Structure 1
């Protein structure tokens, strides 16, 4: 079992039962107690649960649970690199692109640094991405605002207003949930407002997301499927989602 699936099952158990124990999880998943403790520590950082002696109890609700950038960066690293490589083909040799805050867009930023695209301007509200791009001596426009500690991304009215004035060649977007009916969603209201502005800032909008986000609904819907042009992911969508993407005219690229 992949670690991400284990995290999901632990989260579900905590939500259903209200409490889990280290010994019980160790036996259930066939892993060491130390591994269980590391899992619980990570999920506590993400706000899913609260650790107590011998286990953990329920934390915040699933629709508002949001992983930190640090924890997300360590998950599905290989798949995210594949997604980023596929997204690279959409990046123009010159012009301007928007990079949303996130671990997968961060992987794309790393590739842009490696290629040293001198004629390309990168626009982002992500502090780590801006630091990476500028540190390589490339052109970057850091969109300001109040920086959220959890995501290291600027949010607020000034951030939204800045994006509203832009029309980039391509906007690369991240997401917390992708559903056939609810569309694209994220747990935070302020992040949602910025993401909506990013969607409208690109002549072409590309969604970069791991398949674990499929059929998930978090608190705030910030865009419809019709608002995106391309979905780049690691596995083909299934069920109602694939039909909804087809009806919306979204091109799906499996990396």
Structure 2
């Protein structure tokens, strides 16, 4: 049995019982306790469970806790690179786009260097730093004001006022969680309000999120799934989730982290 299959089975058992013990999992899966412990370590780093002595428990996904930028920047880095590269291919020269705060959108900013004559509106200090570092004369960056979040985003009334005064071709948004019923969510109330303004300002909403965001529900909703024109994610997203999203989202694009030719190996639904 491959590691992803074991980990999926562990999650099934965890959600069925609320907690699992290493000793029980070794019997169920027929592998060593060291293998199970490695699986639990991987899953804990992804935020899929909480490790406890001798086993693991369910993570409460309806949370108001917001991890800092540095903590999130080391998670799913290969997936984020693949997602960002594919999302950048949706941007055309001469566009005005908005980019929200987050580690996936920060990764996206590095892929925009070859796209000419861009105007970028962002509330992300990290994104603005990357774009300014490119030293381009054909790039205009509009940075909103506001209150700084743990993700180095600027939120609140000042940011909302600035965003609502503008109109962009596309908003590219990273999210804390995506859920069939809750839609796009964040644990930060001010960030939710700011991101709703980004949604309203754009003709098209592109959401970029890796597979670990599926089923995560933050405190506040940004928008329902029906607001999403395109979702770019990775091919580890469960087929059941893709099926659910396909009925609610305009377009679902799944990319492979192993490929350097992300565009040719993307599955579009």
Does the residue aligned with 2:166 lie in a helix, a strand or coil? Answer: coil
CA separation in 1, counterparts of 2:127 and 2:94?
Answer: 19
Q: Does the aligned pair in 2 maintain the 1:214–1:237 contact within 8 Å?
A: no
Pairwise CA distance, 1:67:
2.1
CA separation of 1:167 and 1:240: change in aligned 2, threshold 3 A: same
Pairwise CA distance, 1:93:
0.5
1:196-227 Cα distance to aligned partner (Å, 9 max, x none): 11111111110000011112222111101111
Normalising by structure 2, report the TM-score: 0.72
Runs of 4+ aligned structure 1 residues displaced above 3 Å come to 26-31
1:96-150 Cα distance to aligned partner (Å, 9 max, x none): 111111111111101113x2x44101111000110111122242111111112x1
Query: What count of residue pairs does the alignment treat as equivalent?
Result: 233
1:78 match? 78
Gaps in structure 1 of 5+ consecutive residues: 18-25
What is the 5 A alignment of 1:1-255?
Answer: 1=3, 29-31=36-38, 62-64=61-63, 65-113=65-113, 115=114, 117-138=115-136, 139-148=140-149, 150-235=150-235, 236=237, 238-239=239-240, 242-246=243-247, 248-255=248-255
Does the residue aligned with 1:111 lie in a helix, a strand or coil? Answer: coil
CA-atom RMSD, angstroms? 3.6
1:133-180 Cα distance to aligned partner (Å, 9 max, x none): 1122242111111112x1111011111111111211111011111111
Gaps in structure 2 of 5+ consecutive residues: 20-32, 256-269
CA separation in 1, counterparts of 2:215 and 2:61?
Answer: 13
CA separation in 2, counterparts of 1:234 and 1:86?
Answer: 10
Normalising by structure 1, report the TM-score: 0.76
Pairwise CA distance, 1:94:
0.9
Pairwise CA distance, 1:27:
5.4
Q: Does the aligned pair in 2 maintain the 1:180–1:215 contact within 8 Å?
A: yes
CA separation in 2, counterparts of 1:226 and 1:214?
Answer: 16
2:266 match? none
CA separation of 1:190 and 1:29: change in aligned 2, threshold 3 A: same
* Structure 1, 234-243 or 80-89: larger mean CA deviation: 234-243
CA separation of 1:241 and 1:78: change in aligned 2, threshold 3 A: closer
CA separation in 2, counterparts of 1:86 and 1:109?
Answer: 12
2:265 match? none
Q: Does the aligned pair in 2 maintain the 1:94–1:120 contact within 8 Å?
A: yes
